[in-house]
Amino acid sequence: MHRFRSWIGIILAAVLIVVCLTPQMRTVLTLPDYQRMVVGESSHINISLPGGIGDRLVMQVLGAPNSVFSSREDPAIIVNKQANGYRIVALNPGKANVQLKLLGYIPVKSITVETLPTRRVVPGGHSIGVLLQSRGIMVVGFAPVTGQDGKKLYPARDEGIEIGDLILKANGTSVKTENDLARVIDANGAEEKVRLTIKRRDNYLTVAVKTAPCPETGRKRIGLYVRDGIVGVGTLTFWDPESKRYAALGHIIVDADTRQGVDVLQGRIVSASVQTIKSARPGQPGEKIGVFNGSGPIEGTIVRNSPAGIFGQTSVDLRNPYADYSLEVGYAHQVREGKAQIYTVVSGDQIEKFDVTIEKVYPERQNGKGMIIRVTDPRLLNLTGGIVQGMSGSPIVQDSRIVGAVTHVFLHDPERGYGIFMDNMMSEMETLPTHTGSRSTNRVGA
């Protein structure tokens, strides 16, 4: 009897191996381990196996729904048997585990399905002025101090200060501007050294720097060029009418000299008007040139500067003339190659719509380069040559959904560039605090 059971086990194992080698079963086995769906969507899994084996392959939803939004009576998904496979229907936000079993008990494939709520936001395209004050002051270069003997001294550099360091305190006093630092050095009196508290990447250090008298200014100096903020022109991506939160740019603001992200102390956005455009050419990025309008319809705070863009809250409601109503958010799995539009400003403060083509889609990317777009609109190409600085954040709309934003331009081919998915920007926005709330020549556009 034991031998008989062994033979049955061997036969079943052989059958399973043979089945798994069929092209149809290989298709089943290569199904993704993780799938996202929006409530109301359905997904068909085709199962067409030879010899009636397909009838022995059963799809089941395991366990209870995993969601703060749904109860046991409100499952995230349901699975319906069809003639040539199964159809998964997303019913409620949440997660569910689906398993395909052969003969009802041999696990073949497991899939985690996340169902997302439908979201609606007001699309942007508005030209905005960005005023950002960093947390502390950033070291962007070394300024030599000429000594009495004519020699050039670099006190801070000689003590190990590096470009990109963020000076948070001097002699225990918080410094927010270059003038703050200068006042502390002046008040140092006979003390030869000033103690600097700095942030270097994720580390905090205290460095004692010897001051040097400057014959030209008659003051003591430590030999640094510093910057306490950034201003520039960009584009607002979307506005959430429920929370009054906004997202813009689609990429992090970096300091032009250090190429490091700016750690936000405070900042704000205001309306901006595009005065002229420097057209892009291969190897020469173009740019929007605009002026700020503090009395315009846009006013808001900046509370976060992240790889997905800048985020904050507005004090006024925002509208888009091309969208009388809010648009549905399109997630990465819904984006397809093909025609789309972008909203942006090329003159004054008037938002316009231009045609583009989404050439490639990379749903798995989380780095702000999830899709490649090409500008195809003849008027926009004539005006700008393609994607220019200041266009970062321009919303991308496809199939009446806002699916992402323009982020980077290809320097060798300015008609093409990258776009970020709405998934990335929405995820960042959802982690903002409940309540939200110095100059450089940096351009904070694409």
Marked catalytic residue, from 257, 377, 408, 413: 377
Instruction: Give the residue numbers spanning the domain of 239.
Output: 121-131+229-430
Residue 181 shares a structural domain with residue 268: no
Q: Any catalytic annotation for residue 413?
A: no
Contact by Cβ (8 Å): 128, 292: no
Q: Any catalytic annotation for residue 158?
A: no
Residue 92 shares a structural domain with residue 191: no
pLDDT of amino acid 134:
80
Strands 327-329 and 401-410: parallel
Kindly tell me the sign of the dihedral angle through the C-alpha atoms of 79, 80, 85, 90: negative
**Is residue 253 a part of any domain in this protein?**
yes
Longest dimension (CA), the chain: 103
**Is residue 77 a part of any domain in this protein?**
yes
**Is residue 47 a part of any domain in this protein?**
yes
Structure tokens given for 49: 């196996």
Residue 338 shares a structural domain with residue 379: yes
Contact by Cβ (8 Å): 184, 173: yes
Q: Any catalytic annotation for residue 377?
A: yes
Q: Which of 313, 330, 445 lies closest to 396 in space, CA to CA?
A: 330
pLDDT of amino acid 230:
83
Residue 194 shares a structural domain with residue 278: no
**Is residue 334 a part of any domain in this protein?**
yes
DSSP tally for the chain: helices H, then strands E: 6, 31
Please say which residue of 205, 222, 239 terminates a domain.
222
**Is residue 355 a part of any domain in this protein?**
yes
Q: Which of 71, 82, 109, 215 lies closest to 152 in space, CA to CA?
A: 215
pLDDT of amino acid 443:
42
Which of helix, strand or coil describes residue 90? Answer: strand
The residues pairing with 301 across neighbouring beta strands, listed in sequence order, are 268
Marked catalytic residue, from 271, 392, 394, 438: 392
How far apart (Å, rounded) are the C-alpha atoms in residues 391 and 415?
13
How far apart (Å, rounded) are the C-alpha atoms in residues 390 and 235?
6
Residue 281 shares a structural domain with residue 353: yes
Strands 85-90 and 42-46: antiparallel
Number of domains in the chain: 3
**Is residue 137 a part of any domain in this protein?**
no
At residue 411, φ and ψ (nearest 5 deg) are -60, -35
Residue 357 shares a structural domain with residue 403: yes
**Is residue 371 a part of any domain in this protein?**
yes
Structure tokens given for 350: 């008037």
Give the Cβ contact number of residue 279 at 10 Å.
15
Structure tokens given for 339: 């025609």
pLDDT of amino acid 275:
94
pLDDT tens over the chain, length 446 residues: 555 566 666 665 555 555 555 555 555 666 778 888 899 888 887 766 555 555 567 777 876 544 444 455 678 888 888 777 788 898 899 888 888 877 666 777 788 888 889 999 999 999 999 998 888 889 988 988 887 777 888 999 999 999 889 999 999 999 988 889 989 988 877 667 899 999 988 899 999 999 888 877 778 889 999 888 788 899 999 999 999 999 999 999 887 777 777 777 788 999 999 999 999 999 898 999 999 987 888 999 999 999 999 999 998 889 888 777 889 999 999 999 999 999 999 999 999 999 999 999 999 888 889 999 999 999 999 999 999 999 999 999 999 999 999 999 999 999 999 999 999 999 999 888 765 443 333 344 44
pLDDT of amino acid 76:
87
For residue 300, the domain's CATH number is 2.40.10.120
pLDDT of amino acid 437:
43
435 Cβ contact list (under 8 Å, min separation 6): none
pLDDT of amino acid 384:
96
Task: Give CA angle at 176 (172, 181), nearest 5°.
Answer: 60
pLDDT of amino acid 262:
78
**Is residue 20 a part of any domain in this protein?**
no
Residue 262 shares a structural domain with residue 374: yes
Residue 172 shares a structural domain with residue 310: no
